[in-house]
Amino acid sequence: MNSILMNQAIQAFLLEDIGQHDLSSDSIFSSETMGEGVFIAKETGILCGIAIPPKVYEILGGNVQFEAVKKDGDTIKKGDIIATVSAPVRTLLSGERVILNLMQRMSGIATQTHIAVKQLDDSTIRICDTRKTAPGLRAFDKYAVQSGGGFNHRNGLYDGVMLKDNHIAFSGGITEAVSTVREKLGHMVKIEVETETASQVKEAVQAGADIIMFDNRTPEEIKQLVKLVPDHITTEISGNITLDNINHYRGCGANYISLGSLTHSVRALDISFNSKGGIKA
């Protein structure tokens, strides 16, 4: 992920948590007191966010020796050591919660994505995310999807046109909406159109959409709708798809399945940080 965005975000997260200082750690330990710690997996899943600890430690003052045992995208099992670190105790303790909050969430998203890919079991269809991310965490969330074997949809409203039902309704129809966008934007910007019926799909094709989404359609319906779309137009499925039913879409003929659940309701993967050997002289 973009290192500048990561640095800015982590600085804000640390400011939120630490404020002016860490009352607990600063009251007990001097700035010279050194310690060792270890990150351990408490359950099985896909690791993501291994770059977070050293970045947090760097912002908090450095003088850190960090060794990653696992890398992003690795499968980790309960009891696995993820990384070891030697640093000022203040740094270890003040940065612990921000590090774990991010790593646990990112690993949870990567794990959820990995499960979705395995459940679908169709290499012709890519699993992708949506904009249903936690505010301030989109870059982290979307990187985690990649680590789990998924792909990213647009990053925001600024890097791709997606004409949903309300855009179409306010514009007076698919043809009008696509035509208006084409007149104002250059050839580098792709246009996606959300559809629900065969007539809408045909209109989107005729209007020159680059991507057509089939919204809230059954696998059987999608198999019929994709027949209406020329090969040069990308197709996407979205709506009411879960880990429990995603396998029903195997072989449906679409190019992508977008899942908001990868990020909007993810369960964090349990990772802990423990002291190792107490204080270092």
**Active-site annotation, residues:** 97, 132, 164, 194, 215
Q: Which three-class secondary structure string do you get for the chain?
A: CCHHHHHHHHHHHHHHHHCCCCHHHHHHCCCCCEEEEEEEECCCEECCCCCHHHHHHHHCCCCCEEEECCCCCCEECCCCEEEEEEEEHHHHHHHHHHHHHHHHHHHHHHHHHHHHHHHHCCCCCEEECCCCCCCCCHHHHHHHHHHCCCECCCCCCCCCEEECHHHHHHHCCHHHHHHHHHHHCCCCCCEEEEECCHHHHHHHHHHCCCEEEEECCCHHHHHHHHHHCCCCCEEEEECCCCCCCHHHHCCCCCCEEECCHHHHCCCCCCEEEEEEEEEEC
Residues 13 and 44: beta-carbon distance below 8 Å: no
CA atoms within 13 A on the CB side of 5: 10
Which tokens in the block code for residue 236? 């996407």
* The amino acid at 238: S
